[in-house]
Structure 1
Amino acid sequence: MSEPAEQPLYLQRDQPQGVPPLALTGERTLPDVPEENYWYRRHLVVYEWIRERVGGLKVIDMACGEGYGSSVLGAAAGEVVGVDANPEAHEHARLRYTTGNVRFARDLVETFGEPADAVVFLQTIEHVRNPDEVLEHFKAIISESASPLVVVSTPNLLTLAPEGAEKSENPWHIKEYRPEEFRALCAAHFASVEVYGLFHARKLAVHELAIKKLGWDAIHKRLGITKRFYDRFTPAISAKDFILTTERPLEGALDFVAVCRP
């Protein structure tokens, strides 16, 4: 995510009447900020993937932030509760995304305990100091369900941080995980754990190849077209420019997505 700043650099554009725009601080991703579109789509594709697996279920979207993910899940789930402790994010989500089957609760992920079939916890476990307690809490929430499911995602330390580093420069992150660390964390609490990797696809795969093989980062700087190129390229990224799979080595993944069942 983007680095935090003392003064907000970006605000959400074109919000519905009566919905206050949120500022991009780096703590969470936001839709409706063109400069943030890469990160937003990178998160959105996972929500869309989960949506296909929670049809008719009651889902708790923990640390839901702005609320867009809860809305996505609500297109298939029987009921969705988006949970976030931040007052500004909660108010924004409540005003923008509440529908007949989607509602929002202002609470901590450690204490919200409403029973459900599924818990979704995306790109947040790297922010918490007590991941084992949090996962045990989620397991308790789904304990009475006939179709229990917990989905947890986190960025890959190996592709997020500089080579050899134990953590990226993101000040909001407490612990970033290698593939084996993340799998072991989830397996300590759930009997069944399947870990998917998120990778670039389509134009992002071409862009990644151009950087690695052709030195594109240096070329656009020499040509003086960096801002012009990315002002067009970044807003054009879509969820289709990412792929979730178990068929590639997790060491090269951008993010891990663990599908956990007790």
Structure 2
Amino acid sequence: MAEAEQLYLQRDQPEGVPPLALTGERTLPDVPEENYWFRRHLVVYDWIAGRVGGQKVVDMACGEGYGSDVLARTASEVVGVDANPEAHEHARLRYSRDGLRFARDLVETFDERCDAVVFLQTIEHVQNPDEVLERFKALVAGSDGGAVYVSTPNVLTLAPEGAEKSGNPWHVKEYRPEEFRALCEAHFSSVELLGLFHARKLAWHQFAIERLGWDTVHAKLGLTKRFYDWFTPAIATSDFTLTADRPLEGALDVLAVCRP
């Protein structure tokens, strides 16, 4: 999987901005084949951006930088933090707006007080989640209403049924929703969990696969590549929904809103 993904580079980057390669470690915009995962992440950034207006936000492990740019549309100041030199340089050159800057640093050592920390789809990559969450709590502790936003894929829907982990080589630990809640509640006094689910055409697509055997049908008809070459780039953030009103066991990703 990772070897195949390395064939994909970002398309149509601004002049002077080096495109990043898709390795499976982080999602990227401007790669049509990756659009499902990009939109799946972007919808959570959009939701958080609606709740951090006027705040100073630190986007930890910001990767390519697109999420930091989204947050900066509403926040008064955003710092995108990533240790990877290629990702940092790309983000620094690609995204420029008032109040947005990028820092090359580790999430374990970056030390600027803020109102909100955003840490999306990354806690499953770290060896020391308890240490990381304690550090984030300290960064927002002095803020009135400070919050830490952490999301992670749900192992129950990401991995094969009964498996402890998917095949993603970058993931150290993948969490069941109750495990993720327990991890966050060990460090924060208030934890609200929301689940990300398919909506609109993705909900219909999921229904067709699970109930109608669509994967078998398009394979037999020889339509697989043509179908997904059309379907995947057409996915939008509106094809996902983030809610606290559905059982988390069926969620794609789980978002924790944590307060000290």
Distance 1:7 1:181, change over 3 A: closer
Residue of structure 2 equivalent to 1:112: 110
| Structure 1 counterpart of 2:45, from 40, 47, 62 | 47
Structure 1 consecutive aligned stretches of length 4 or more whose deviation exceeds 3 Å: none
Tell whether 2:60 aligns with 1:58. Answer: no
The alpha carbon displacement at 1:113 in A equals 1.0
Q: How does 1:1-12 map to 2 (within 5 A)?
A: 3-5=1-3, 8-12=6-10
Q: Give, in whole Å, the separation in 1 of the partners of 2:32 and 2:5.
A: 18
Residue of structure 1 equivalent to 2:86: 88
Residue of structure 2 equivalent to 1:208: 206
The alpha carbon displacement at 1:7 in A equals 8.0
Say whether the 8 Å CA contact 1:123–1:154 is kept in structure 2: yes
| Structure 1 counterpart of 2:242, from 232, 241, 244 | 244
Residue of structure 2 equivalent to 1:148: 146
Q: Give, in whole Å, the separation in 2 of the partners of 1:7 and 1:251.
A: 29
CA offsets, 1:154-196, max 9 Å, x none? 0000000011111000000000000100000000000000000
Please tell me the residue identity of whatever aligns with 1:244. L
Say whether the 8 Å CA contact 2:5–2:24 is kept in structure 1: no
Residue of structure 2 equivalent to 1:234: 232
Q: Give, in whole Å, the separation in 1 of the partners of 2:242 and 2:81.
A: 25
Q: Give, in whole Å, the separation in 1 of the partners of 2:51 and 2:149.
A: 10
Say whether the 8 Å CA contact 1:197–1:253 is kept in structure 2: yes
Residue of structure 2 equivalent to 1:165: 163
CA offsets, 1:114-169, max 9 Å, x none? 11000000000000000000000000111111120100000000000011111000
The alpha carbon displacement at 1:38 in A equals 0.1
SS of residue paired to 1:5: helix
**Root-mean-square deviation (CA), in Å?**
0.9
Say whether the 8 Å CA contact 1:98–1:104 is kept in structure 2: no
Q: How many residues are aligned here? A: 260
Structure 2 unpaired stretches of 5+: none
Please tell me the residue identity of whatever aligns with 2:174. E
Residue of structure 2 equivalent to 1:260: 258
Say whether the 8 Å CA contact 1:87–1:106 is kept in structure 2: yes
Tell whether 2:22 aligns with 1:14. Answer: no
SS of residue paired to 2:3: coil
Q: Give, in whole Å, the separation in 2 of the partners of 1:118 and 1:158.
A: 28
Structure 1 unpaired stretches of 5+: none
Q: TM-score, normalised by structure 1?
A: 0.98
Q: Give, in whole Å, the separation in 2 of the partners of 1:186 and 1:238.
A: 30
Percent of pairs with identical residues: 76
Q: TM-score, normalised by structure 2?
A: 0.99
CA offsets, 1:224-254, max 9 Å, x none? 0000000000000000000000111000000
Q: Give, in whole Å, the separation in 1 of the partners of 2:127 and 2:31.
A: 29
Please tell me the residue identity of whatever aligns with 2:195. G
